[in-house]
Amino acid sequence: MKKEVTTLKKLAQTLELSISTVSRALNDHPDISIDTKEKVKALALKLNYVPNIFAKGFRKHRSNIIGVIVPNITHYFTTTIVRGIVEEAESKGFRVIISESNNDIEKQKEMFNTMIQFGVDGILASLTKRTREVDHILATLNNIPIVLFDKVSNKIPCTQITINDEEAAYNIVEHLINIGKKRIAIIKESEYSYNSEKRYSGYLKALKEHDIALDPKMVISVEDISIKEGKRMTNILLSSKERPDAIFAITDGAAIGVIQTLNKFNVKIPEDIAVVGFSNSVYSTIIEPKLTTVDQPGEKIGRTAVKYLINEINLPEDNITNKLVEIKSNIVIRDSSFKS
């Protein structure tokens, strides 16, 4: 037997009131008496009435829902950002719908369209690695506000929230230089990636400012920046005539692969080769030696993104921005680059 959904109309008929009176009573309208409010709310509770937020949003031209699109929901850094998004949004009276593109550009396009169909007030998005063509995002931006975070694009005229990737990379490479390292390899992404390019720029800047010549053989590019690739690239570096004395991997995953391979071949860390990563994931303290890395404040990124988006939702004409907001990060120095 099909269950009957309790509607405003049913509440109104049962209490012999108008639908508008019931609706205003549920929303604590001052024109409705306390006695009527109590009767309406008591019946709504008894019949398990749940407001239709989409119908409500249609009437108000607002749904108080924020759409979130991420490449991979299981990635540790992403989960910290999403936690910040959800907590900040709920504190401001917004619900959150989260979807995952799986780094698939076609699925990402589908997600932007789906969010529009759901009637969200705005979208927070971290783009896929392969986002080149952005027409679908620009089309969405014509309808509702979008704020990008973490994986961003300079092709899209909207607010974008990232960490200070270039400065953070500069600082961690300078740390390696300060402990006496000169042949510093970098493992980065081969495909265009905003984050990867910014971190590579920081690496180059640190070498240049400390008068260390760039050795192209020390620049290793991979399509998939992962533990597996970190291992594979370390094997290549170890087979070279002039080994590096430090390796900077632009993610903790790749850095962990580096450490595992160095341990396998009994290379002393950090005496022979120091290792640094980027993210401060949970794995950075499990691996031995513990990994020096850049701590990314994921929750702060999420909260900041929500604040900017809600400002644009509330003041759509006056508050649309096109700027990059960089959140400060810091280095966490551990045994992979320091011996006490």
- Residue-wise pLDDT for 286-300, tens only, equals 999 999 999 999 999
Q: What is the pLDDT of residue 55?
A: 58
According to DSSP, the residues that pair with 122 across neighbouring strands are 66
Q: What is the pLDDT of residue 232?
A: 96
- The single-letter code of the amino acid at 15 is L
Nearest to 71 by CA among 108, 34, 97: 108
Q: Say whether pLDDT at 22 is over 60.
A: yes
Q: What is the pLDDT of residues 239-292, one digit of tens each?
A: 998 999 999 999 999 999 999 999 999 999 999 999 999 999 999 999 999 999
What average pLDDT score do residues 142-164 get?
93
What average pLDDT score do residues 85-91 get?
97
Q: What is the pLDDT of residue 54?
A: 56
Name the pLDDT band for 129 (thresholds 50, 70, 90).
Answer: confident
| Cα distance between the two ends of the chain | 72
Name the pLDDT band for 2 (thresholds 50, 70, 90).
Answer: very low
Which DSSP string do the residues of 83-140 spell out, in sequence order? HHHHHHHHHTT-EEEEEE-TT-HHHHHHHHHHHHHHT-SEEEE---TT----HHHHHH
What are the angstrom distances between the C-alpha of 7 and each of 42, 132, 172?
14, 46, 59
What average pLDDT score do residues 190-210 get?
92
Cα(49)–Cα(91) distance, integer angstroms: 24
Q: What is the pTM of this model?
A: 0.80
Q: What is the pLDDT of residue 224?
A: 84
Share of the chain above pLDDT 90, in %: 71
How many helices (H) and strands (E) the chain has is answered by 12, 12
Cα(274)–Cα(292) distance, integer angstroms: 9
Q: What is the pLDDT of residue 1?
A: 41
What are the angstrom distances between the C-alpha of 293 and each of 60, 219, 255, 299?
47, 19, 9, 18
What average pLDDT score do residues 193-220 get?
95
> With the CA atoms of 77, 80, 84 and 85 taken in that order, what torsion angle do they form, in degrees rounded to the nearest 10?
60
Q: Say whether pLDDT at 127 is over 80.
A: yes
Nearest to 183 by CA among 107, 243, 97, 255: 243
Cα(157)–Cα(155) distance, integer angstroms: 7
Q: Which of 2-11, 49-58, 74-83, 309-318 has the lowest mean pLDDT?
A: 49-58
What are the angstrom distances between the C-alpha of 72 and each of 69, 77, 99, 246?
9, 10, 9, 30
pLDDT: which is higher, 46 or 92: 92
Nearest to 248 by CA among 278, 288, 205: 278
Q: What is the pLDDT of residue 339?
A: 67
Q: What is the pLDDT of residues 30-66, one digit of tens each?
A: 889 999 999 999 998 888 787 765 555 555 567 899 9
Q: Helices 34-46 and 8-15, interaxial angle, to 10°? A: 120
Task: Give the total residue count for the chain.
Answer: 340
Q: What is the pLDDT of residue 260?
A: 98
Cα(163)–Cα(328) distance, integer angstroms: 6
Return the DSSP state at 214: -
